[in-house]
Amino acid sequence: MPSGLKDKNLKENHRSIPPNPGITHVVFLAGMIEKLGRGTLLITKTFRDIGLVPPTGVSSNGATTLTMDSRPIENVLNSRTSHFLDTFNSKEEFTREQYQQFFLEKISERTARNDISVLLDGRWIEKIGDGAFTRYIKKRRS
């Protein structure tokens, strides 16, 4: 992996610097890979979307090995997130700020983000939009 890129960064947007760009381009043209730097992102997203533990990555000697697990994500809700799901109107969208306001702003922004992350991972809520326009809606769990 390029210097400065750590294993944990594989699950975030990152630059792809292939060791042999010529071979990489031929493999791309053959349809064997998608856009550079997106493989681990797509795999992680797919695993999360279907409720499985995301793969873990280990890099050594210029190669990255992903270990894929078929276990479902185990999300244990705390009393705060359970209360929110039981109380909040299932048809309304909400933002992170509104989640904080639901608790009369007695929780920090970081706590709200962590709670929302758990709710997303457990597929209790769905993310709509990005950046400043990010909002969430409750999902029916099957």
Instruction: Tell me if residue 86 falls in helix, strand or coil.
Output: helix
Q: Which residues of 77-91 are buried (b: 16+ CB within 10 A; e: fewer)?
A: eeebbeebbeebeee
Give the pLDDT mean for 20-45. 78
Nearest to 8 by CA among 59, 42, 50: 59
Architecture of domain 79-138: Orthogonal Bundle (1.10)
Q: What is the pLDDT of residue 42?
A: 80
* % of the chain surpassing 70 pLDDT: 79
Give the pLDDT mean for 39-61. 77
| Spatial contact of 44 and 19, defined as CB atoms under 8 Å apart | no
> Can you tell me the distance from the alpha carbon of 115 to that of 102, in angstroms, rounded to the nearest whole number?
13
User: N- to C-terminal Cα distance for the chain?
Assistant: 39
Q: What is the pLDDT of residue 31?
A: 79
| Spatial contact of 64 and 10, defined as CB atoms under 8 Å apart | yes
Give the pLDDT mean for 43-66. 75
pTM of the predicted model over 0.75:
no
Instruction: Give me the residue spans of the domains in the chain.
Output: 7-67, 79-138
Per-residue pLDDT tens over the stretch 28-39: 888 777 766 677
Per-residue pLDDT tens over the stretch 85-114: 888 877 789 999 999 999 987 899 999 999
Per-residue pLDDT tens over the stretch 121-132: 788 899 999 888
User: Per-residue pLDDT for 118 more than 50?
Assistant: yes
Per-residue pLDDT tens over the stretch 75-84: 678 889 989 9
Q: What is the pLDDT of residue 142?
A: 46
Instruction: Report in angstroms the alpha-carbon separations of 98 from 88, 92, 103, 106, 120.
Output: 11, 11, 9, 12, 16
| Spatial contact of 69 and 53, defined as CB atoms under 8 Å apart | yes
| Spatial contact of 100 and 80, defined as CB atoms under 8 Å apart | no
